[in-house]
Every structure is written in C-alpha cells, then in structure tokens.
Amino acid sequence: MTKSIDSTGRAGRNFLLDLLKQKEMGVFLALVAIVAFLVCKTDSFASKDNLFAVSRQIAYVAIVALGIFFVIVTSGIDLSVGSLVCLSGVICALVLQGGHHPLLAVLAGLLTGAVAGAINGLLVSYVGVTSFIVTLGMLSVAKGAVLVLTHGDSVRGSTEQFSTFLDFGKRTFLDGRLSMPVVVLLVLAVICYIVLRYTVFGRRLFAVGGNEQATELSGINVRGIKFFSFVIASVASSIVGILYIFQYNSAQSSAGEGMEMDAIAAAVIGGTSLLGGQGSVVGILIGAIMMGVIRNGLVLMKVDAYWQKSIIGAIIVLAAVIDILRSKRK
Amino acid sequence: MMKKAWGSVWVSLLLVGILGLMGCGQKTETKKEGADSKQSAKQEAKADAGKGKKTFVMVPKVVMPYYEPCFEGFKDAAAKYGAEVEYLPPNEMKLPLQVKVIEDLIARKVDGIAISALDDIGLKQVINDAMAAGIKVVTFDAPAPSSNALSYIGTINEAAGAAAAEEMIKTMGGEGELAILQGGLVSSNLNQRFEGFKKTIETKAPNIKIVAREDTEGKIDTTVAKVEALLQVHPNLKAFFGVSATDAPGAAIVIEEQKKVGKILIGGFDDTPDTLSAIRKGTVSFALAQQTYKMGWLSVVKLCEAIEGKTIEKEINTGLLVVTKENVDSYMSEMKANVEKSDAAK
Amino acid sequence: MSMPLLEMREISKGFPGVQALKNVNFSLSKGEIVCLLGENGAGKSTLMKVLTGVYPEYEGTVSLNGETIRFRNTRDAFEKGVSIVFQEFNLCPNLSAMENLFLGNENRSLPGFISYGATRKKAVEAFRKLRMEIDPDALVKDLGVAQQQMIEIAKALSHDTKILVMDEPTAVLTELEAKNLFDLMRELKAQGMAIVFISHKLNEVLAITDRVVCLRDGENSGEACTREIGENDLVSMMVGREIDRFYSKRAGQASSEVVLDVRNLTGRPMTRNVSFKLHKGEIVGLAGLIGAGRTELARLLIGAEKVTDGEIWLHGEKVSITHPKHAVARKIAYVSEDRKKYGLVLPMTVRENTTLAVHSRVSNWAGFISGSKERTLTKDFIERLRIKVPHAEEVVNNLSGGNQQKVVLAKWLAIAPDVLILDEPTRGIDVGAKAEVHRIIADLADSGVAILVISSELPEILHVSDRVLVMHEGRMTADIPRSEANEETIMRAAVA
C-alpha cells in the first residue's frame, strides 16, 4: 500500500478501483502474467509435483523475507539471515544427534537465532553501529561457527530422535500438495499480517521507519523496537534452518547460503522500501513467489545455464530501480 | 554524544574478542591435525630456528572434509620420512586469505609448502616469492601452472572426466537421457572434468543424450531446486552426473524424497561423507574418489626429494578410484595400502 | 514614480486540474519596493515563476519598459535584468563563497580554466558593495545563514539587474540580520532597483515596502499604499474577511499554582544553570537570538538530551526525565520547531499521526489497536482544531503547512498535557492558520495548561505572553513581566 498498511479505511469508495490502485497490483499482475506464460509454454509447471517443489522453495525464502521485513521497515538491513539459517539448522541437528528430545533440538535452534538477533539488535540499537556492518560481521561469525562445528561436513542423523523429528516434518497436507514449510509460512504470514496491521508494535515499526526522530520524541522506545526487529528476523531464519532438515535429512553446511539476497529482493519486488516505513505482507509473498517462479521457470524453459544467473541478477537490479522510481514519484 | 564513544569501546572489545575466537579456531586446527599441543609449539620454534626436522605445511583451499584424507597422507608420510607438518586451511574460499597464509609461511621460513591453488594467476606472485625465499612449493589437487611451483600432484581433470564417463556408461547400460550438474561454471578444473566427460560420452556412447547442464553454484539449496525442476522438464531422465562434490549428494536428497531410488541413477565426484552415505544406501551408484590420501603422501615425498636437490616430475597424476556400494567401506584402506606399497617398492 | 518599469497584464496560468492564476495584474516602478502578499497557494510563487522565466507558457502580457516580452527560460530573464533570490538557497556547501558566486559564470583565462585571481578580486568587490564582510575563500558550509543569503543576493545582482524578487528573505534571519538586509534593500532602492518582497511577516511588510499587492485564490484581491494601511487591513486582504483580532484575547488569567519548577538545570549541549517556573494557565514566552539555546532547553525538559545537573519539579514533586516517554507519561508535551523532521511521520495518515503518542489509550491489554477508538479520537481533534482534510485517512505529507502543524498539535493535545512547550508554532504557515493556532493556544491556557512559547517573532511573543523569559548562549538572562516587555528590553537581554 502506498502509505502504511492502513490506507483504505475509506467508506463508500469503489472497492475495485481501490484494489487496482494498491501498490502491489503492479507486481501481482506481472506475476499472473509470468505464471500464465509458464503454464502455457511448459507442461510441467502446473503439475502437482512441480508445484509442491516450487511452493516449498518459495516458502523458505518467504519466511526469511517476512522476518527481514521487520528490520527493513525500521530502515535497517540484516545480512546475517542466510548464515543464521545454516547455523540454526546445524545446532538443531547436533542436539538431535546428541540423543535429545526433538523439542529441545527445535528450541536450541530457535534460541540460536534469538541470541544472534539479540546481539545484532544490541549493537545496532544500543551501541549505535550501523546495521549493515553489524549484520555483515554476524554473517562471518555464524559462518565461522558452522565451520568449527562441522568442518564443512554435514550433520547427518542416525539417532532415534532424529528419525522422530524427520517423521514429523515430512508430513504433507492436502493430499500431498502442501509441504510443512508452506504450512508454516501460511501460519506465519497470517500472524505477521495481524501484528503489523492491528497491534501497537506493528504501528510503531512503521512509525520508526517513517520518521525515527519524530517517533522517539513522541515518547516511543525506538531502541526497543529496533532491537526486537532484529530478534524477529533471526528467529525467522532459525525456523527455516530447522525446516531445511526435514527436506535434507541433515543439516547442510551450505544451506541458506546467499539467502539474504533472495529475501531482500523478494521484499523489494513486493513493495518494501529499503529506506523504511513502507511495505506489506502481501507484497512479500508476491515477491517471494515471483522469485521462486522465475527460478523454476528458467530451468523449465531450458534457458542456458550461463544466462540464468545474469537474468536473475538483472531482475534484482530491476526491482531496486523500480523501488527508487516509486519513492521518487511520491 | 558520550554514549557513542562508549559504544565504540564496546564494539572494539567485541571485535577483539571475536578475532581472538577465530584465531583460536585456526590454532585448534593445527593442533588437532598436527602433533599434540606441546609438540606443535616446539615445531614452530624449531621451524623458526631453521634447524632440526624439516617443516612442511599443507594449505588447502578451505576447511572441507574432502581435504582431510589429503592431510592424513601428508601426516603419515611425514612420520615415515621424518618431517614436522602443519595444516592451515583458510576459513573461506577467498584468494586473499590463501595468499596471506603463504605470506605468513614465507616469514616463518618453513621448508616446504603443498598448496591446493585457489587461483592460478592470483597465487603466481606469492608462490614465486616463496620459491625465491628457498621454500620448496608443490601444488596438489588444484594446479598453479603459471607459477614456478615444482610440481602438480593431483587429478588430471580431463582424464578424470573421461573415467567418470566410462563408469556412467556402464551404470546407464549405454543409453538414456542424462543431466549434468556443475557447482559453478567458472572453475577450470570443473570445466575440464566436464569436457572430458562429454567427449567420452559422445564418442563411446552415442545412445546417451545429455539433455541438460545446470549450474548448482555449489550450494545445496540451488542443487536441490534445480534437480527438482529438471525432473519435471525431462520426464524420461535416466541419470544425473554431478561434476563437483556437492552435486551428487544434493541430487540424492531429491531422489530419495521422491522415492525414485534405483529408477533414476546418480554418479558423482569426490568421496564426501554425504556421498558415501548415499552410496551405502544405493541412491548414488558411483563416485569417483580422487586419491586424496595419495596426493598428501606424494607431496611429502616430492618435497623431500626437492630439498635433497633431485629434479621432480612436473606433473603427477594421482588417478582415481571408483567407489561403489561394493567397496565403499574398504576403498580408503585399500588406497592407503596401495600408496604405502608403491612407496616401499621404490 | 514615472512609467512603470514592469507591467504584467491579465496573466493567467493553468495546470491540469487547477487554475493557478486568473487575470492577474501586477506592476513595478523603478526604485519601488512592492510586497506581494497572499496565503500559501494564493498564486504568488506562480506569478513570480512567470516573471522570472520558469514558466514561458502563460496567457497575458509582460512588458519591460513598455516593450512586450516573453522570457524563454530563466537564463533569458536573468540576462534581461530579472533576478530572484529563493527561500531555499542553491549553494554548494563544499565550495567557497566566490566559487558559488560565479557558479555557471566562471571567469576564464584559458578555455576551461578558471582564473582564481580575477575571481577573488571580483568577489571581494561584489561583497563590499553589499556591505558584507565575507571571506571569498570561506566554504559555504562554514558560513552563517545570513552570509549565505548574501552570496545568493550577490549572485542575483552579478548581472545588470533591474528587478530583484526576494522570496521570504527574512524567514531564516535574526532580527539584527533582517535589519541589515533592509538597509541594503533601501540602498538598492535608492539606486533605482525595483524589488518584489514576498513575506508573511506583516510587521516587516509595513516597515520596508512602499506598496502592497495581494493575491487570493489566484486573483488580485487588493492593493494599497503601505503607509495608508495597518496590519488588520493586510490580513483582511489576504483572507477576504474581517479579522479584528490577530492574536486572541484570553478569557482567563494565569493562576498562582506552580506546575513546572526548573532549578539550575544544566545539560547537553549548552544549557547552563537555567531556572524558571511555569504556572497553571500561564503563557510564558521564551525569546532570544537564534542559537541562544531555547530548543536545547526544551529538549532537556522532555528527556531528549541528557541532564547533567539541576532538578525538574512537576506539581511539587521532583521528577527524573531521561527519555521522551517519561515526559509523555508526566504530561509534558513538546511541539518541535521543524514539524517535518521532528513532528510528523510524513508517510502516515492524519489518524496515525494523531494517535502516535497515545497508543495505550486506543489499544487493549493485548496490544491490539481499536480502530473505532482511533477514529473517534481523530475525528474529535479534526473538529476541535479545524484541520482541513477530506477525511482522517489523508496522508499527512499532502497537507498544507498550517494543517500539518495542527496535526502535530492534535497529537500532543491527545495526551492531555499539563505543560505544553511550543517551539516556533507559527513558522512557515499562512496567516489564516496562524490566527487559528493562536486561538488554540489561548483556549488551552484558559483551560489551565501551562504553556511555554518559543518564538523568534517578537510581535508574537509580545502579544501572547503573560511573561517573557529571555535566553542568551544557554543561560536565562531575564524574566520580564508583560507590562515591562517590549522590543528593547527583550533585545537587551538577548544580546547581553
């Protein structure tokens, strides 16, 4: 939405017109066009198996993107999310391998994210170091920690607890159409939507991003808000790290690598402004779907391997350019 | 504001703490892989003093389980030939990090270096500097032909690709659709493998059709996503071949999940623990193991010969072992035994 | 005065959806200072843009010295002798004064090379003519605002200028600097220059101009000789109705109950040993030169800066305020001087801005915001403060300056403050809105709020205050009751 998420509270206006004017409509229509194109041009895009696979790939990125959204809205950035996906997964798997209860393992994984996020938040909000530097540092620290713990190998499961854990996670829904990550995404998306639109915390997030000084002078604890946004981003990453184990049957030392780029791109495509104060859950979902569909489509269309990377890079740049043009027009 | 000044102090302390931890991490590696802690310190002192036992250092591209057998061979040969060894892998596969390691070794005046070159041109200067300083340098696993390094001890990649193709033809029964996975399209060693592979397939198995070649970027997420998509595009696909170490295990994850083990075949490169595990399960049919133990062993042998003034071969092909379900648990000890046997026979 | 130097006849200019100018007539004679008056949106800028060549497309005729012309662009106008000094300077802060002076007009020795010797000489000459001591090599960012303005004026005069347009030139100047500017203007007038003076400061208009031409809603709405009219006439011309009172009369009076007692307050960055009291229902003015430390004092009081010594007593109880949230909790409100920077979250709506400080009032225990409570509260304030918006969902960024200021006020009134600190509350808003803000202030005082008004407009301070406090370089230098307060007594304390 052009302003914060609450712009269409007007009564009696043309609903359809308002819908079309929504900021996300542009990308949504683009997405519909791409999907339609792929459905026509390939017989495999719309197949049950492909949709299952693609929706799961999208879910991973989307959950990280939702988490990072909280940080971006407050005008920050978090580059450590990818490496935290990896680290959290490694720790969760190690706990399972140690023969401990799966719930404990999940807790350990989430705690990894929480602690890392707290450190990020502390350094950015209370010490005042810029988020780019702090999270870049955390990225290295997390990567290094993974190396120390795994020596570059993966953490494979052999304990009973590991199997129980996997059994739970490999469950599918809707007759094998929806994977666990997709279900988790849907739940998280709804929660995020409600928090961002209807709660004080959500309102304050957007306020901080819209004008940090004015918000602070209005009596709001800006530091606390920013601190929590980093914790949320990192915990979201942990969730994905844990979800990956269900698919990989292990914690891989290259899992989540480079994910921050996809997450940020998804956010920007979906209408989030990197300057803060703007964006929506719907936009994030559209952006993540767009990224996943394009990646999938490139392979399905048998695009030459050498071109694929360039195309994806070009799309990310395009998204950033559109973002700037959008903010300039206002 | 005063708060910011205090903030800088905290940040500096934190950074120092983190760097210290990372430094500890490095040292732990050497301590673990070299001798025990007391000996390690003595080694360094001896190396710096420049007398007593020779010191050889192995510098792989990065911390990775693939190199561990290399260092084992290095270490065992050193025990036999009376040298002290160290293992100094950079934390990340980044050229400046590897350059820095070599520079530090030049300063320490070690006797010999075995390096798996991250970048041929990028390392040329520092390798030549080391040679000029009197340190004997050989490359293993990845060559640096532009430099003055005395030898390349490792796999000849094109031949490796050809050998892999032979195995693949066997596995596929000479026909069917094949998709290639490669972890990055820029590295020369991977491309050489692919070229060797492709040529052999084209000449020896005209009924095998390579229908796709995808860049998996060496990342598990990308590998899995590409394999999932490829299975959709090519419904008649019979096999995957993974050119780099992360490809076959990534394909294995998908094949296992989709319960197509045995229906879709996988062949790969390098004997990483994940690949071996998949071979045991039958998901991966074969993997070409580079003779990593042999690379490490021969590095020490050749470094010793170089110090004695002998001329050594410019290139030593350490060859490959095909690992299948049959020999997956025994191949490593076989490799070691072969190496020690041929060494004793000299 | 003889034949007019400039005649603009029946000028009309339209944009998609809006007719900015409708048959406007405006003329200027040599050696005349004319004020172009009007509320924001009345058409003043558009008219001046037509005059200075920004809009080459318009209806009507413009003639200089009897000859009809139409400027093709700003350069064309500049070369024909029409210059304008804008409110927002177009200077490069990292370049020196003389480099800025000749930007675009560099003195070249060889093609492509700047001759610095010649430049410096010419710069010194130009500044001397304006009676300003400016080091030609000084970087613009190190110069004061008044000096920067001088460079802009020098730039405008660097050609053979016949007509000089000045857009709100005193908005950023202190009283002293404004006085200097007026002296310069009088000199230029004596030399025969015609000056168009755009300003909202009515006392200045009456002081310096010969004639006043007023626009309202894109049309002429009045013209008069300055010496024949007074302030109320100016206001009437601008708003189109009789305003008999610009500053509202108070119904009540200050009580003797002390609400805020500040004792020896010292803090960052410059406040030293400040003591004063605020009583219930009182309006206290805080005067001083720009940079005297008044805003810094206000920020200390609300916890935006660190207190290093001294005490704050509220309702007879000592309080510690280390963050604005404490101030809000204790019902101290601070309306900052830069509403766009410190007062409003521009991308948000009127409703969201109004409730920004009172989330606890419009939400439940679980942190969920009640849409209906919000809307009711906002509607209430829109009515009470007469904020002109089609609905509460209007984005604040689209509002006029006056309405934006009212939204900020609404936000702070929502906390039901006992103490209200206003920092330049009527800066940059049009006359109609100004009067309304003063009415609101008066009503608040009558209802018992203790009010501190920081203002650089002496007339404003003198009209509204029961008492005037004066600051100088971070210290309180005077506490003047209304009966003794005048421009002289305040100025003396401000510079002492």
Q: How far is CA C28 from CA A140, C80, C181, in A?
A: 69, 15, 20
What pLDDT score does C243 carry? 54
Q: How far is CA A293 from CA A45, A173, B229, B282, B342, in A?
A: 9, 21, 11, 32, 55
Residue A16 has pLDDT above 60, yes or no: yes
What does the longest C-alpha to C-alpha distance in chain A come to? 63
**Overall average pLDDT of the A306-323 stretch:** 83
Q: Is C347–A201 a contact, with Cβ atoms under 8 angstroms apart?
A: no
Q: For A176, how many CA atoms within 13 A lie in the half-sphere containing its CB?
A: 6
Residue B36 has pLDDT above 50, yes or no: no
What pLDDT score does B4 carry? 46
- Among residues C420, C214, C429, which one has the least CA distance to residue C338? C429
Note the pLDDT tens digit of each residue in A35-48. Answer: 999 999 988 899 99
Rounded-to-integer distance, Cα C475 and Cα A282, Å:
54
What pLDDT score does C125 carry? 80
Rounded-to-integer distance, Cα C154 and Cα B212, Å:
71
H helices within B173-330, ranges in order? 188-204, 220-233, 247-257, 273-281, 292-307
Note the pLDDT tens digit of each residue in A218-247. Answer: 999 999 999 999 999 999 999 999 999 999
- Among residues C368, C382, C448, which one has the least CA distance to residue C414? C382
What pLDDT score does A316 carry? 77
Indicate the DSSP class of residue B172.
H
Rounded-to-integer distance, Cα A56 and Cα A253, Å:
20
* Tokens 């001798």, located at residue: B35
Rounded-to-integer distance, Cα A282 and Cα C159, Å:
57
> Which CATH code of 3.40.50.720, 3.40.50.2300, 3.20.20.70, 3.40.50.300 fits the domain covering B157-290?
3.40.50.2300
Q: For A7, how many CA atoms within 13 A lie in the half-sphere containing its CB?
A: 19
Q: List the single range of B166-175, C80-89, C333-342 with lowest mean pLDDT.
A: C80-89
- Among residues B173, B189, B174, B185, which one has the least CA distance to residue B270? B189
**Overall average pLDDT of the C76-102 stretch:** 83
Residue C263, strand partner residues: C311
Rounded-to-integer distance, Cα A308 and Cα A64, Å:
23
What pLDDT score does C247 carry? 66
What pLDDT score does C251 carry? 63
Rounded-to-integer distance, Cα C451 and Cα C413, Å:
12
Q: For C86, how many CA atoms within 13 A lie in the half-sphere containing its CB?
A: 8
Exposure b/e, B336-345, CB count within 10 A at least 16 = b: beebbeeeee
Q: Is C369–A199 a contact, with Cβ atoms under 8 angstroms apart?
A: yes
Within an 8 Å CB–CB cutoff, is residue A204 touching chain C? Answer: yes
B157-290 matches B55-155+292-318+331-344 in CATH topology: yes
ipTM of predicted complex: 0.87
Residue B78 has pLDDT above 90, yes or no: yes
Q: Is C342–A213 a contact, with Cβ atoms under 8 angstroms apart?
A: yes
Residue B35 has pLDDT above 50, yes or no: no
What does the longest C-alpha to C-alpha distance in chain C come to? 76
Rounded-to-integer distance, Cα C319 and Cα C321, Å:
6
What pLDDT score does B208 carry? 95
Share the mean pLDDT of chain C: 87
Neighbours of C364 (CB within 10 A): 12
* Tokens 């004066």, located at residue: C470
Rounded-to-integer distance, Cα B184 and Cα B180, Å:
12
Percent of chain C past pLDDT 90, that is, above it, reads 44
Selecting from A257, A296, A305 the residue whose C-beta is nearest the C-beta of B229 gives A296
CB B141 within 8 A of CB B60: yes
Phi-psi region of C53 (alpha: psi -120 to 50; beta: other; left: phi over 0): left
Share the mean pLDDT of chain B: 86
**Overall average pLDDT of the C134-154 stretch:** 81
* C450-454/A155-156 β-pairing: unpaired
Q: Is A154–B273 a contact, with Cβ atoms under 8 angstroms apart?
A: yes
Q: Is C363–A200 a contact, with Cβ atoms under 8 angstroms apart?
A: yes
What pLDDT score does B8 carry? 54
**Overall average pLDDT of the C409-431 stretch:** 91
Quote the minimal CA–CA distance from A269 to chain C in Å: 19
**CA end-to-end distance (rounded Å), chain A:** 13
Asked whether the bond before A102 is cis by omega within 30 degrees of 0, the reply is no
The H or E element spanning position B77 is: helix B68-81
Mutate to test the interface with A, among B221, B231, B244 (most CBs of A within 10 A): B221
What pLDDT score does B34 carry? 38
**Overall average pLDDT of the B209-222 stretch:** 93
CB B273 within 8 A of CB A153: yes
- Secondary structure of A210-255 in the HEC alphabet? HCHHHHHHCCCCHHHHHHHHHHHHHHHHHHHHHHHHHHHCEECCCC
Rounded-to-integer distance, Cα B291 and Cα B277, Å:
19
Rounded-to-integer distance, Cα A189 and Cα C184, Å:
65
Rounded-to-integer distance, Cα B172 and Cα B208, Å:
8
Selecting from A54, A254, A300 the residue whose C-beta is nearest the C-beta of B233 gives A300
Rounded-to-integer distance, Cα C174 and Cα C215, Å:
27
Quote the minimal CA–CA distance from C336 to chain A in Å: 9
Amino acid, single-letter form, for residue C19: Q
Q: List the single range of A99-103, B181-185, C245-249 with lowest mean pLDDT.
A: C245-249
Q: How confident is the model at residue C126 (pLDDT cuts 50, 70, 90)?
A: confident
User: C-alpha angle with apex B55: B53 to B57, nearest 5 degrees?
Assistant: 160
Domain boundaries, chain B: 55-155+292-318+331-344, 157-290
**Overall average pLDDT of the C281-306 stretch:** 91
What pLDDT score does B306 carry? 93
Within an 8 Å CB–CB cutoff, is residue A237 touching chain B? Answer: no
* Tokens 């810029």, located at residue: A130
Q: List the single range of A120-124, C173-177, C179-183, C362-366 with lowest mean pLDDT.
A: C173-177
Note the pLDDT tens digit of each residue in A187-213. Answer: 999 999 999 999 999 999 999 999 999
- Among residues C280, C356, C364, C352, which one has the least CA distance to residue C324? C356
**Nearest residue of A to residue C299, measured between CA atoms:** A217
Within an 8 Å CB–CB cutoff, is residue A160 touching chain C? Answer: no
C contacts of A206 (beta carbons < 8 Å): 345, 348
What pLDDT score does B16 carry? 63
Quote the minimal CA–CA distance from A199 to chain C in Å: 4
CB A89 within 8 A of CB A242: yes
**Nearest residue of C to residue A196, measured between CA atoms:** C368
Within an 8 Å CB–CB cutoff, is residue A62 touching chain C? Answer: no
Selecting from B4, B220, B249 the residue whose C-beta is nearest the C-beta of A128 gives B4
Q: What is the pTM of this model?
A: 0.78
CB A83 within 8 A of CB A143: yes
Residue C165, strand partner residues: C84, C196
Residue B264 has pLDDT above 60, yes or no: yes
CA C46 to chain CA mean position, Å: 20
Q: How confident is the model at residue A30 (pLDDT cuts 50, 70, 90)?
A: confident
C contacts of A204 (beta carbons < 8 Å): 359
Q: How confident is the model at residue B133 (pLDDT cuts 50, 70, 90)?
A: very high
Three-class secondary structure of residue B344 per DSSP: helix
H helices within A74-170, ranges in order? 81-97, 102-121, 131-150, 160-169
Q: Is C348–A3 a contact, with Cβ atoms under 8 angstroms apart?
A: yes
Give the neighbours of chain A: at least 3 Cβ pairs within 8 Å. B, C
Selecting from B68, B219, B235 the residue whose C-beta is nearest the C-beta of A258 gives B219
Q: Supply φ then ψ for residue B207, to 5 degrees.
A: -90, 0
Kindly report the CATH class assigned to B55-155+292-318+331-344: alpha beta
Rounded-to-integer distance, Cα A84 and Cα C169, Å:
56
**Overall average pLDDT of the B235-239 stretch:** 94
Percent of chain B past pLDDT 70, that is, above it, reads 85
Note the pLDDT tens digit of each residue in A108-151. Answer: 999 999 999 999 999 999 999 999 999 999 999 999 999 999 98
Q: Is C397–A330 a contact, with Cβ atoms under 8 angstroms apart?
A: yes
CB A138 within 8 A of CB A80: yes
- B332: tokens are 């490593």
CB B259 within 8 A of CB B223: no
**CA end-to-end distance (rounded Å), chain C:** 44
What pLDDT score does C240 carry? 67
* B136-140/B112-115 β-pairing: parallel
- C3: tokens are 């034949």
